[in-house]
């Protein structure tokens, strides 16, 4: 059963010819790149020829599960996507929860590649190995929830999992998501790629359980991990990631009004405790997750009454602190709208925060905004602008192009355009946590705390690392990135990974129980191999040291208040971190992986050849 490979088949759907085929996944490639994010990147390297336009029909969507997806291991519902990002113009990796990944596996496929372009709207229906490319004309233009409802009718199966491109994706908003069972491939605009291929949705349902090497041992380990998660993730269950909001504000690290300050005066009504007391209805869980970190909230009264969504830390950060909005009801509403239109809440909020600063500084006027008073703290203007982005109406049409488009229109505002590689910042302040600056700068998909490395835990209280230290951050960020790269390739949710022993000293046994082979000790090396592969891809697309940078605000505007008052992260400080980081990674001074390190990492020949093409 485990002769070399633990992943079986990838389903390739060619929309241009409306055909599909099942292909074996090379066992040698599996073992080198593990699954999920690693395999998606490896297929991307092979099949995306270099830098291409994200809207080009040569762009593809690579979806991959990993060895743990769909197994009895808790929170094993995640799967990964790679594509050329409409938001950044470069390689994008993205991960999503929900039940789609497991269902894809249960239906006989470990991966799904969507290529070409359909001549008219379609949806793909995968059911226990049976694949259909069906007409979706009647679904086009529908919002997400209604699309899902209709898909359940059209497939006559209420248990399906779905990936859906919302109206924002149909209109090519560059930061539109693929919505997945109430979760999403959020960042980078994968939704626009999918809709650009005329794919409205993918529905999947499978009934074949994942085969594992030692079911009994796995069941035991899974039970222990569930207990561990229940015991240890109580705050995730009670508050979700929103638990960090107030702490980070207290620490003077809470991005506010487009990073003009790091302390939000409206914090008390957007804190986790406030949310839990006034808005929370219930928890919502991804596949086999005992934690259920999603906090479903409802607005009970006022102008947003009846709106429901599950805001997490980043969403609250982008609509709350960043837009200066202290009305939690408006945050719930903004989140709900994004879910329905299929918009990334992080990019949407951070881009609107930038627009608010444009407005307050006079770069745009009421004339540009059709009379909208787009100033910080105006919740109604926030809501209205979300509609306008999704519908590409007026000023919203401009914002829908993301920072990549806005940079062309407002070239003099790059200093306060809070992005790296055109990806809007996550809700952490590099001036208050210098490691997070390096994380944003070197993340494989542009400013991202997950792929880039969530250094907050290590930097929070001065210990081995300090928030304001420079030395050591290169090594730290590399290590966190490598861990995340293998975790995203297993695929397992980061919330439960430590209980399974998937840390920076991997000890987890479940991989052996699933695959029959204990390659846990290799995981860190595999993680580094994957991260380096991603850099080979980016280097091929032209990314160099000049792109691994932060906006000037971070280097030159001291934080005006709070515990990090007066702090900046100067170019010199940043350069020192970057040098250490490149050295730790075995990349040259321009950030290009060296052949020597690639050989040490035992990448396969295809990657070496791609690299040789660069040198």
Binding site for a copy of itself (CB under 8 A): 228, 231-236, 238-239, 243-244, 246-247, 250-251, 272-273, 456-457, 460-464, 466-471, 495, 498, 503, 562-563
Min dist CB 390 to a copy of itself, Å, is: 34
Min dist CB 313 to a copy of itself, Å, is: 12
CA distance 343 to 353: 15
Nearer to a copy of itself, 186 or 499 (CB): 499
Nearer to a copy of itself, 263 or 451 (CB): 263
Degrees to nearest 5, angle at CA 457 with 474 and 232: 140
Nearer to a copy of itself, 359 or 574 (CB): 574
Nearer to a copy of itself, 213 or 584 (CB): 584
Tokens of 306: 């009846």
Nearer to a copy of itself, 136 or 293 (CB): 293
558-583 burial, b for 16+ CB within 10 Å, e for fewer?
ebeebebeebbbeeebbebbbebbbe
Min dist CB 464 to a copy of itself, Å, is: 5
| Burial class of residue 507, CB neighbours in 10 A (0-12, 13-18, 19+) | exposed
- Which of 413, 404, 463, 396 minimizes the C-alpha distance to 435? 463
Min dist CB 301 to a copy of itself, Å, is: 25
Nearer to a copy of itself, 85 or 481 (CB): 481
The answer to whether the CB of 203 falls within 8 A of the CB of 161 is yes
The answer to whether the CB of 286 falls within 8 A of the CB of 491 is no
Tokens of 446: 């542009």
CA distance 131 to 107: 10
CA distance 458 to 479: 12
- Containing 389, the helix (H) or strand (E) segment is helix 379-390
Min dist CB 495 to a copy of itself, Å, is: 8
Min dist CB 493 to a copy of itself, Å, is: 13
Helix (H, G, I), strand (E, B) or coil at 374: coil
Nearer to a copy of itself, 501 or 516 (CB): 501
Nearer to a copy of itself, 369 or 455 (CB): 455
Min dist CB 94 to a copy of itself, Å, is: 23
Nearer to a copy of itself, 246 or 344 (CB): 246
CA distance 340 to 318: 18
DSSP assignment, residue 602?
Answer: T
Residue 109 Cα to chain centre, angstroms: 23
Nearer to a copy of itself, 247 or 407 (CB): 247
Nearer to a copy of itself, 340 or 482 (CB): 482
The alpha helices in 190-233, defined as continuous H runs, are 190-196, 215-232
Min dist CB 457 to a copy of itself, Å, is: 5
CA distance 298 to 66: 34
The answer to whether the CB of 103 falls within 8 A of the CB of 164 is no
- Which of 192, 208, 188 minimizes the C-alpha distance to 200? 192
DSSP assignment, residue 537?
Answer: H
The alpha helices in 460-522, defined as continuous H runs, are 473-490, 510-515
Nearer to a copy of itself, 124 or 483 (CB): 483
Min dist CB 219 to a copy of itself, Å, is: 19
Min dist CB 557 to a copy of itself, Å, is: 18
Min dist CB 228 to a copy of itself, Å, is: 7
The answer to whether the CB of 514 falls within 8 A of the CB of 71 is yes
The answer to whether the CB of 445 falls within 8 A of the CB of 94 is yes
Residue 370, sorted as left (phi over 0), alpha (psi -120 to 50) or beta, turns out to be left
Nearer to a copy of itself, 52 or 469 (CB): 469
The answer to whether the CB of 401 falls within 8 A of the CB of 328 is no
- Containing 308, the helix (H) or strand (E) segment is strand 308-309
220-233 burial, b for 16+ CB within 10 Å, e for fewer?
ebbeebbebbeeeb
Min dist CB 565 to a copy of itself, Å, is: 8
Min dist CB 575 to a copy of itself, Å, is: 15
Min dist CB 233 to a copy of itself, Å, is: 6
Nearer to a copy of itself, 296 or 469 (CB): 469
Tokens of 170: 């149909």
């Amino acid at each position: 059963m485990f002769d070399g490979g633990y992943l079986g088949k990838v389903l390739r759907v060619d929309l241009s010819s409306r055909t599909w085929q099942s292909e074996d996944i090379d066992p040698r490639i599996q073992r080198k790149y593990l699954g999920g994010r690693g395999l998606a990147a490896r297929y991307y390297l092979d099949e995306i020829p270099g830098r291409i336009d994200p809207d080009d029909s040569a762009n593809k969507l690579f979806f991959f599960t990993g060895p743990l997806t769909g197994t009895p291991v808790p929170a094993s519902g995640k799967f990964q996507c790679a594509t050329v990002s409409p938001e950044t113009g470069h390689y994008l990796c993205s991960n999503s929860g929900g039940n789609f990944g497991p269902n894809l596996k249960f239906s006989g496929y470990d991966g799904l590649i969507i290529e070409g372009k359909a001549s008219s709207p379609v949806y793909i229906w995968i059911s226990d190995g049976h694949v259909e490319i069906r007409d979706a004309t009647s679904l086009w233009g529908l919002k997400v929830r209604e699309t899902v409802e209709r898909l359940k009718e059209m497939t006559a199966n209420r248990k399906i999992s779905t990936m859906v491109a919302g109206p924002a994706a149909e209109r090519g908003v560059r930061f539109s998501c693929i919505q997945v069972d109430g979760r999403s491939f959020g960042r980078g605009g994968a939704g626009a790629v999918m809709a650009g291929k005329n794919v409205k949705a993918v529905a999947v349902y499978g009934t074949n359980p994942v085969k594992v090497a030692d079911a009994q041992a796995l069941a035991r380990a899974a039970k222990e991990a569930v207990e561990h998660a229940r015991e240890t993730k109580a705050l995730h269950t009670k508050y979700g990631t929103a638990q960090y909001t107030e702490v980070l504000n207290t620490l003077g690290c809470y991005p506010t009004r487009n990073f003009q300050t790091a302390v939000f005066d409206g914090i008390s009504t957007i804190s986790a405790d406030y949310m839990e007391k006034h808005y929370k209805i219930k928890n919502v869980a991804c596949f086999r997750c005992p934690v259920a970190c999603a906090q479903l909230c409802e607005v009970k009264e006022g102008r947003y009454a009846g709106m429901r969504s599950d805001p997490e830390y980043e969403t609250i950060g982008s609509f709350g602190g960043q837009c200066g909005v202290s009305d939690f009801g408006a945050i719930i509403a903004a989140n709900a709208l994004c879910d329905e239109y299929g918009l990334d809440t992080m990019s949407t909020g951070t881009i609107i925060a930038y627009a608010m600063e444009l407005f307050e500084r006079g770069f745009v006027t009421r004339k540009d905004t059709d009379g909208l008073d787009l100033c910080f703290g105006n919740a109604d203007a926030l809501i209205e602008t979300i509609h306008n982005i999704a519908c590409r109406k007026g000023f919203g049409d401009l914002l829908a192009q993301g920072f990549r488009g806005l940079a062309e229109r407002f070239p003099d505002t790059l200093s306060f355009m809070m992005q790296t590689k055109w990806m809007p910042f996550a809700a952490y302040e590099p001036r208050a946590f210098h490691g997070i600056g390096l994380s944003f700068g070197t993340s494989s998909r542009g400013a991202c705390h997950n792929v880039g490395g969530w250094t907050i835990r290590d930097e929070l209280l001065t210990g081995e690392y300090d928030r304001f230290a420079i030395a050591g951050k290169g090594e730290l960020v590399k290590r966190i990135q490598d861990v995340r790269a293998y975790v995203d390739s297993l695929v397992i949710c980061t919330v439960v990974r430590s209980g399974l022993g998937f840390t920076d000293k991997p000890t987890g046994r479940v991989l052996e129980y699933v695959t029959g082979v204990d390659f846990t000790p290799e995981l860190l090396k595999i993680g580094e191999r994957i991260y380096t592969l991603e850099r080979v891809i980016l280097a091929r697309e032209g990314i160099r040291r000049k792109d691994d940078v932060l906006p000037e605000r971070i280097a030159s505007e001291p934080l005006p208040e709070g515990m990090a008052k007066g702090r900046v992260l100067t170019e010199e400080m940043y350069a020192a971190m970057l040098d250490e980081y490149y050295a730790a990674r075995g990349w040259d001074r321009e950030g290009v992986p060296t052949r020597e390190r690639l050989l040490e990492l035992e990448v396969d020949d295809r990657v070496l050849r791609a690299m040789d093409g660069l040198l």
